[in-house]
Structures are given as C-alpha cells and as structure tokens.
Amino acid sequence: MVLCAASSHFARPLAVQNQAPAPQPQPQPPADQVQITTFLQDPWVSPAEVRQVDRQLVGPGLANDRVQVRDNRPKAAPDQAGNYLMQPGSDGESQVNAQVVTSQTLNMWQNYRGGQIEWSFGSRVLDVVPHKKQGMNAYYSRWEGSTNYFFQDSPQLQTTVKTANSVDVVAHETGHSVLDGMKPGYLSTNDRETGAFHEAFGDCSAMLFTLQDEAMRERILEQTGGDLSKPGNLAWLAEEFGKARRLANDDPADDDRPWLRNAQNKFTYVKPESLGDGRGDDDTLGGEIHSFGRLWAGAFYDCLNATYQDGLAQGLGPNQALKFAADTLGPLFARAVDRAPSTRGRFKDMGLQLIQADKETNNGRLSEAFTKVFVERKIISPKDLQSEAERRSQLPRLTVDHDFTSKAEAAAFVTARAAQLGLPEGVKLSTASLSRNAKGEQVVSLLYPQTVPVTVPGLQGLETDVNGGVTLVFDAQGRLSDFHHSAVDAECVQDEMEGIAYLQRKDQILEDDRTGMQFTRDDGKPYLAVIRDGKLVRVPSSACDCGCCSQCGK
C-alpha cells in the first residue's frame, strides 16, 4: 500500500520547483560519506536537498548488502567522488531517494528492535523498483522480493507524481517488508484486521522516520507551535500523492487537504466487517483495510504525542523531545510486534503488548498514558487488561539453555514440547521467524497449517490453509517470558472466510489460468489470492492503495 507525510504550509509553487536548477556540489565529504540528492519527507513539503550520508547506504551502484535498486530504466551513476547529485525530476533522483530511504528505514527498525531483521523471502537483499509502471500506487511483494513504486502525470499539479520520491511512501512500503520479516504470518492470512494493521504499521514507520531528521522536526514544531494536536506534516501521510488525488476527483470540498491519510483522528474500534467495504472519508472510518488502519495509526500518533509530552516534562527542548518520542516509542513498538501472536495482528493484542513493553523496559513511565489512549479508542477494555494479567500469570514453565542456531532447530525444540504447551497432537510446526536481540532475548514465531473447506458463495468446492501459530519469548536467562498459541478454531476460520469474501468482492482473487505467475492487475493493484489445483492460496503482498478506488469502484 502507499502512504506519505507533508504540509501545504511548507509547499513551494510546483512551477518553481520544476524549474529549480540542479543542486550545486558542496565541499567534499569525508571518505566514508557521500553527497546525495534526497527529499526530507515528501515533494509537496519541499524540493530535494543535498545531504551527506554513509557511503555504504548507496553502495557501489545503488546497492548494499541488504537493499538494491533494480529499475526498468537506466540506473543513475555517481560522479568521480561517488556522489549522487541528481537533476530535479530525473529518474536518478527517484532511484537515489528510494535506495537511501529504504536502507535508512531498515536501519531504524533494526536499531529499535536491537537486532537484525531478516527479509521473509529468503534473500538477504530487497529489490527496490522506483519506476515499476505508470499509475498512482506503490506496494511490497514477498513473492517478488521487492518494493515497487509508480509514476503518474498530474495535470492539476503540473508535475509527474512519483511515489519513489515520497519519503513517507518509501518508509511505509519498507515498513511492510520489515513487518513481513518479523511476522510472516500476517501476510499469510486473509483476516481483514490484520491487513489493516499491516497498513497502519507502514504509516507508523513513516511517522517515526520523519522524526529522525532534525530539520523536519523543526518544520513540524514551526507548523504546530509545538502542539501535536494541531495539523501538521507528522500526521499527514503522502501529501503530494494525496493532493494530486483530491484535485483529480469530483469533490472540490477536499481540494485543500494535502494528504492521502491523516493520523489525527478520533476513530474508535468496531470490527472492520461491520463497516462494509467502503473507505469512509476523513471523518468516517471505513471497512477497507487502508481506511480501517487509520484507527491504529491514530492511536499510535496519540501515544507518540504522550511520549513527546513526557520528554518535555523531563526538561528536554521541543526538538529533542520529538526525537526522544520516536526513539522511546519505536523500540517499544518493535518489542510489542515481536511478542505478539504469530498468525494475526489484532489491534487489541498490539495495544496490550505495547503497554507491557513499557512496563518491562521503560519502568512503566508511559503505561498509564498508553492505557488511556487504547481504552478511549475502545481498542482494549478494563476486562482485557485483567485477562492479560491472568494470562501472563499462567505461562508454561519452560527454559532453553542455548541460542537457537537455525529455524529447523527451533521448530524441533518446540515440537518436542507440544504437549507441555497445549498444542494439537501431531502438530507440524515450521519456524516463520527467529530473532535474538542485544539483551540476549530470543523470540520464535512458528506456524502450522490446517486445511479447511472454503464456504464463500461462488468459491465452494475449494480448500484453503488456515494457520495456527505459536510465539515464544525467552529472556536472557533462557526462561519463557511470554507465550501465545493461536488455534485454528471456529472464530478464526470464520474470519478467514470473511476475508476471502472481501477479496472476492474487490476482484483480488486470480484464477490460475488467467495470467500465470503475474499477480498484478492491469491497474497495478496486486492479486492477494490465487486458485490453483482446487486450492485458494494467499499471495503475500501488501494491498497497495491506488488512491482512486472511490472513483473506479474497485
């Protein structure tokens, strides 16, 4: 899916931007750094600027050991000093921006997690495709091992909108790939709320990335006067994309809103299926997953604001407090996701895990504020807090005396203790992700499939796999400190069927004889399930947002 953040307050007339001269070389940086042309957040906020970055981010030929540009257009070349100073509007400008922001976003999440994040598709290197095809879109695809960005002329803005130029969009799509590495099960389910959490995680990734840059923090403070309840670029995502979309639609009332989504909202929880398939509007929550994801993104923004206020209360200046907010909440969020159930990303579970993460690593400084946010948004209830405390008091007694050396070893260890953990007899576990952080804690996420009949009208006679799952967390002494078992029960199967029906209504199920391995529709939107040999199989890809579905009806 897509996303970004910016503000019309800082936007320059695009005609001026498009006529801007090429960036002028600056004094040569140290040998371990290079100069690049990059956007700070979004083209609608400000034009690209010359910045110094670590040489390893761009690597030799826009490639490093984790991220590489693979484009449909000639790849940009550096100057003799290794600098990438690109002409405004050039293909190289988009390539450099996407390469560097992707690498920086990955580094941000690895720092927050306290350990390396492996990609879920088996390769160490994520491909970044800045000019995938024409359209208003972007998406992450596990089966392609890539993040993909689109381009589209905007007559109203008198420019070509390139999603690879938006730092928000790139940080969002990289967020999808990061979350898929941490929790592969979340793209293996058709559960609608999990899809919405995936989109929200991308939005949170964009917000956290925005706060890494000191100049952007100053802009946000100037824009809001230091009051994050006021409108600003931190909450606004994908400004240029959003502005182009709004100017192109038939509603003049929204032309002044330069965002694709806005995390400043007051939405409260209901099941997404109860809201239908629509997107709603800026003030109305919809059941479409990008729309519903705004609920979690809004709650996260509230938690970010609470953390910012805590920084101010400790005597930090506003700019420092914003950085403190990102660098406090980011690790808590990464810890919460790591320890969440392995098969479905439900808002309630994430809220409870975030509160617990604060108690475990931040002396509970923010637990009361976070609890207030999630209760007011009806994501959790006092009863949920009580149930969570009871669950934690009844964890199985289990220890491990060594670090797991492979996913196979971890699966064998847990399988041998299936009865002790209350897992189904004869369960066939596979390790979806395995990590160890700097504190010596190990997290293992495992999945086991169960084949069930598809009961969705029009798809009867097919089967599909529904995953059960297990998450185990071992502390630095090897003791089990958290445990989740997500069984394949009637409620789980029903949620899967509702998710499949949703994909059917949105024409995102591909018959295997239509296009073979090409899982992308003509409009650039990916298919999210494929029918093969009598089985409906999930296609692990983010449900990218063309931003025009209210017009095209898809």
The pLDDT tens digits for 149-167 are 999 999 999 999 999 999 9
pLDDT on residue 22: 55
Domain-ending residue, one of 490, 513, 537: 490
Q: Which amino acid is at 554?
A: K
Alpha-helical runs (H) found in 28-186? 55-58, 91-113, 167-182
- Is 89 inside a domain boundary? no
Percentage with pLDDT > 70 across the chain: 91
Q: 373 pLDDT band (50/70/90 cuts)?
A: very high
Percentage with pLDDT > 90 across the chain: 84
Nearest to 353 by CA among 443, 469, 231: 443
For the stretch 302-322, pLDDT in tens is 999 999 999 999 999 999 999
- Is the model's pLDDT at 517 over the cut of 60? no
Overall average pLDDT of the 219-232 stretch: 96
Phi, psi of 269 (to 5 degrees): -75, 135
411 with 483, same domain: the answer is yes
pLDDT on residue 512: 73
Instruction: Indicate the SS3 state at residue 502.
Output: helix
Q: 14 pLDDT band (50/70/90 cuts)?
A: very low
- Is the model's pLDDT at 100 over the cut of 70? yes
- Is 327 inside a domain boundary? no
- Is 520 inside a domain boundary? yes
486 with 503, same domain: the answer is no
pLDDT: is 554 or 259 the higher one?
259
For the stretch 22-50, pLDDT in tens is 555 556 677 799 999 999 999 999 999 99
Q: Which residues make Cβ contacts (< 8 Å) with residue 492, sequence separation at least 6? A: 343, 344, 466, 468, 486
456 with 511, same domain: the answer is no
pLDDT: is 26 or 90 the higher one?
90
Overall average pLDDT of the 105-111 stretch: 98
538 with 464, same domain: the answer is no
* Helical packing angle, 192-210 and 490-505, nearest 10°: 80
pLDDT on residue 519: 74
Phi, psi of 332 (to 5 degrees): -65, -40
Overall average pLDDT of the 66-90 stretch: 96
380 touches 348 (CB < 8 A): yes
510 with 440, same domain: the answer is no
- Is the model's pLDDT at 194 over the cut of 90? yes
Distance CA 382, CA 217 (A): 35
434 touches 410 (CB < 8 A): yes
151 touches 163 (CB < 8 A): yes
Using CB atoms within 10 Å of the CB of residue 325, give its burial: 0 to 12 exposed, 13 to 18 middle, 19+ buried: buried
Query: What's the alpha-carbon Rg for the chain, to the nearest Å?
Result: 23
- Is the model's pLDDT at 83 over the cut of 90? yes
For β-strands 67-69 and 126-134, DSSP reports them as parallel
- Is 64 inside a domain boundary? no
Nearest to 443 by CA among 488, 410, 416: 410
**Total count of domains within the chain:** 2
pLDDT on residue 308: 98
Q: 525 pLDDT band (50/70/90 cuts)?
A: confident
- Is the model's pLDDT at 11 over the cut of 80? no
Q: Which contiguous run of DSSP H or E holds residue 411?
A: helix 407-415
DSSP string, 227-284: -TTS--TTTEE-HHHHHHHHHHSS-GGGTT---SEES--------GGGG-S---BTTB
Distance CA 39, CA 149 (A): 16
Q: For residue 109, what are the β-bridge partners?
A: none
pLDDT on residue 516: 52
Q: Of 170-174, 195-199, 521-525, where does mean pLDDT reach its minimum?
A: 521-525
Q: Which contiguous run of DSSP H or E holds residue 546?
A: none
Q: Which amino acid is at 463?
A: E
pLDDT on residue 549: 38
- Is the model's pLDDT at 511 over the cut of 90? no
* Helical packing angle, 167-182 and 91-113, nearest 10°: 40
- Is 102 inside a domain boundary? no
pLDDT on residue 481: 98
Domain-ending residue, one of 467, 490, 513: 490
Q: For residue 463, what are the β-bridge partners?
A: 453, 535
Domain-ending residue, one of 473, 490, 507: 490
In order of 173, 251, 373, 451, 510, the CA distances from 198 in angstroms are: 10, 29, 20, 24, 22
462 with 539, same domain: the answer is no
Question: Residue 513: which domain range?
Answer: 499-552
- Is the model's pLDDT at 358 over the cut of 80? yes
Distance CA 462, CA 407 (A): 31
Distance CA 505, CA 384 (A): 33
Distance CA 396, CA 177 (A): 32
405 with 484, same domain: the answer is yes
Q: Which contiguous run of DSSP H or E holds residue 384?
A: helix 382-393
- Is the model's pLDDT at 546 over the cut of 60? no
Phi, psi of 157 (to 5 degrees): -90, -5
